[in-house]
């Protein structure tokens, strides 16, 4: 693909931005990307010891100059020759100390010599336009940069590596082959046998099933950017708050030996077994005439009704049943808490001790297993937009059977292909690209 056209002279702008997170740090990377020669000239004005003939990917040491020509730092410079770079353009990276003042001085110096500050996601958008990656992989880059758990990072990396793209491309190739045959039958109806049309249309039925299967496999869109909710319930003094603090990793709620310390629902987003969940601690479930206690119990029941998983805490050694009045239809994981105490040998449930840590690893794995969906267990997961496109492609093929007219089938295939092209970028509009890349961080 051609490079972006960015100014009146017909040349693409040279972009500059910090490529590492803002704030003080040991190191920071300032990235420049743009047309060959022009990009290197701007970089050399900031880092004057770049060799006249730099070697790609070989670091050199140079002082770094501010916009007035004063030395503000010294660091390494890496040059990436076009098109063998992340963006497909000429790229220069300045590795400086991570002082925000130094970084801003170097960015301002590059702008002074002709660069332009990059907008959010603009480096990745250049890579897309230059054919270095497709849109699904580009969105994976943005999701990987924003990943807040190991599971999110794993699934985003799957997108970056093209796992979704390869599956979508295989489906596109099948639909294109079918469309070619359908159009040939329409153009040369007198020269083709009618019998073969049934087999062609049967392939569309199979393709629709494959689209639905892929949409189910990457079912990340079902949850979007929210987290599954795990609510801890149980009788007063069952160890709920101690368990909550242990899972959060800090003393988030007050714990005493007195029953009924917790009076309200308290929540934190935490990482459990590599996945982020919203963990909720609640007041003990019991019958009470105290107005404040009753409000706490009501809050606990409301939280339980909205849970994706209930952790029902009972002291190890207590006999079943657990607390009454739990909502129907919500999965339950029964816990035998305080398993370290003497005599805690009876009763069912997963035995855990928040005080000693016994059983806590097993609890994390079991929570992840109980919450497992296509989003949580796959090696990659589609974003809601991508999964919606898969479902629209499948919907376009609804009603296409062995007796469907070839004209209708061909129109349906074109609609499905357009939807799939939105995933990989072939049919993405400028408006869609603007919306996608505006969510990226500057420098990515």
Q: How many CB atoms lie within 10 A of CB 153?
A: 16
Helix axes 163-187, 135-146, angle to 10 degrees: 160
Residue 25 forms beta bridges with which residues? 98
| Distance in angstroms (rounded) separating the CA atoms of residues 251 and 262 | 13
Q: Which residue has the tokens 């919203």?
A: 278
Annotated domain spans of the chain: 15-132, 140-221+382-438, 229-370
pLDDT one digit per residue (tens) for the chain, 444 residues: 333 434 333 358 999 999 998 889 999 999 999 999 999 999 999 999 999 999 999 999 999 999 999 999 999 999 999 999 999 999 999 999 999 999 999 999 999 999 999 999 999 999 999 999 999 999 888 888 877 767 777 778 888 888 899 999 999 999 999 888 888 777 665 555 555 567 777 888 889 999 988 888 776 434 444 678 899 888 887 888 888 888 887 766 555 444 444 556 788 888 887 778 888 888 877 666 566 667 777 888 888 888 888 888 887 555 544 556 677 778 888 888 887 776 555 556 788 888 888 888 888 888 888 876 434 445 566 788 898 999 999 999 987 766 667 788 888 999 999 999 999 999 988 998 988 888 888 888
| Distance in angstroms (rounded) separating the CA atoms of residues 320 and 276 | 31
Closest by CA position to 371, among listed 266, 254, 259, 219:
219
- CATH hierarchy code of domain 229-370: 3.40.50.300
**Cα 254-255-259 angle, rounded to 5 deg:** 115
Q: Are 43 and 57 in contact (CB under 8 A)?
A: no
- CATH hierarchy code of domain 140-221+382-438: 1.20.120.430
Look up the pTM and report it: 0.68
| Distance in angstroms (rounded) separating the CA atoms of residues 33 and 88 | 9
15-132: which CATH topology?
Gyrase A; domain 2 (3.30.1360)
């Amino acid at each position: 693909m051609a490079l972006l056209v960015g100014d009146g002279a017909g040349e693409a702008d040279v972009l500059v931005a910090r490529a590492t997170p803002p704030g003080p740090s040991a190191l920071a990377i300032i990235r420049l990307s743009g047309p060959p020669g022009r990009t290197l000239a701007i970089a050399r004005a900031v880092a004057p010891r770049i060799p006249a003939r730099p070697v790609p990917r070989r670091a050199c040491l140079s002082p770094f100059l501010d916009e007035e020509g004063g030395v503000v730092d010294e660091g390494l410079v890496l040059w990436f020759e076009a098109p063998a770079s992340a963006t497909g353009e000429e790229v220069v990276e300045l590795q400086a100390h991570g002082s925000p003042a130094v970084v801003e001085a170097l960015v301002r110096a590059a702008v002074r010599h002709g660069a332009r500050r990059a907008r959010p996601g603009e480096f990745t958008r250049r890579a897309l336009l230059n054919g270095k990656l497709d849109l699904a992989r580009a969105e994976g880059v943005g999701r990987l940069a924003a990943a807040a758990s190991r599971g999110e990072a794993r699934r985003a990396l799957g997108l970056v590596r093209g796992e979704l793209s390869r599956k979508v491309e295989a489906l596109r190739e099948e639909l294109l082959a079918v469309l070619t045959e359908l159009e040939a039958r329409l153009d040369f109806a007198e020269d083709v046998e009618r019998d073969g049309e049934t087999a062609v249309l049967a392939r569309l039925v199979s393709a629709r099933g494959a689209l639905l299967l892929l949409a189910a496999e990457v079912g990340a869109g079902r949850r979007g950017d929210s987290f599954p909710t795990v609510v801890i319930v149980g009788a007063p003094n069952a160890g709920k708050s101690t368990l909550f603090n242990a899972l959060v990793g800090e003393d988030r709620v007050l714990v005493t030996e007195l029953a009924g310390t917790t009076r309200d629902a308290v929540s934190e987003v935490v990482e459990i077994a590599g996945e982020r969940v919203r963990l909720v601690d609640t007041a003990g479930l019991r019958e009470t005439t105290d107005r404040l206690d009753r409000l706490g119990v009501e809050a606990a029941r409301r939280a339980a009704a909205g849970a994706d998983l209930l952790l029902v805490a009972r002291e190890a050694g207590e006999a079943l049943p657990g607390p009454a009045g739990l909502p129907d239809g919500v999965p339950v994981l029964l816990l035998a808490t305080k398993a370290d105490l003497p005599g805690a040998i009876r009763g069912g449930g997963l035995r855990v001790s928040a005080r000693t840590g016994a059983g806590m690893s097993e609890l994390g794995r079991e929570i992840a297993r109980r919450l497992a969906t296509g989003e949580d267990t796959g090696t990659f997961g589609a974003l809601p937009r991508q999964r919606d496109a898969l479902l629209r492609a499948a919907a376009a093929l609804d009603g296409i059977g062995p007796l469907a007219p070839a004209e209708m089938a061909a129109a349906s295939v074109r609609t499905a292909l357009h939807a799939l092209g939105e995933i990989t970028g072939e049919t993405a509009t400028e408006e869609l690209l603007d919306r996608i890349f505006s969510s990226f961080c500057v420098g990515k």
